[in-house]
Amino acid sequence: MSRGASVIYSFSGNTKRAAVWLNQELRAGGNENKVIDLRPVNEPRSFLRQGIQALLKSPVTLADTLEYDLRWVEYAVFASPVWAFTIAPAMRVYLNRVRGLNGKKTACFVTYGSGTGKNRALGELEEILKGKGARVLFSRAFSGASCRKEPFLRKAFSPLCEILNP
């Protein structure tokens, strides 16, 4: 049994839907997988305001109770929506603080509405993980609408499940 963590931020629910599906598959495959759900303190409810925060790469305040030391995991999955051509501010803040990724297997995915900026956001997420010494084994961008379809998720995540499930 492998120990892992899924670090997710989701505003509309699409990213979380995909991450929860993946978490269930990893657990069914014999993994112990903890979900770390990022939620900013005093999160703006306006998508426009959040988009501006993302564009300006403004830091947000995350709960002090989050686990930032991932030395205990064998793998970690990171999931964020694409906002203003980049990852969500909550994910950026978490990635700046997280420790213990050196040499770890990681995977990442982003979800998007229009698709504009998806490759840039995904590349940025990969670059941050590699900068932390992580090995990125899986990297994908999914439309938010496709995250509602179980057959799509099964096919999209099957390469990752084959890597991580014993």
- Residue 79 identity (one-letter amino acid): A
What is the structure's pLDDT at 7?
97
Res 61: pLDDT:
81
Give me the pLDDT at residue 46, please.
67
Query: Which residues make beta-bridge pairs with 142?
Result: 111
Share of the chain above pLDDT 70, in %: 96
> Could you tell me if 37 and 67 are in contact, meaning their C-beta atoms sit under 8 angstroms apart?
no
Instruction: Name the residue ranges covered by the structural domains of the chain.
Output: 3-164
Mean pLDDT for 92-99 is 95
pLDDT at residue 56 is higher than 80: no
Between CA 46 and CA 27 the distance in angstroms is: 34
Mean pLDDT, rounded, of the chain: 91
The alpha carbon dihedral of 55, 133, 6, 155 has a sign of positive
Question: What mean pLDDT comes out for the span 83-100?
Answer: 93
Average pLDDT, stretch 144-151?
94
Domain 3-164, what architecture?
Answer: 3-Layer(aba) Sandwich (3.40)
pLDDT tops 90 at residue 70: yes
Residue 161 has pLDDT above 80, yes or no: yes
Structure tokens at 159: 């390469």
Calculate mean pLDDT across residues 154-163: 96
Cβ–Cβ under 8 Å, residues 38 and 90:
yes
Length of the chain: 166
Q: Global pTM?
A: 0.92
Query: How far is it, in rounded angstroms, from Cα 101 to Cα 104?
Result: 5
- Please give the pLDDT value at position 115: 81
Fill in the DSSP letter of residue 148.
Answer: G
- pLDDT at position 77 is 98
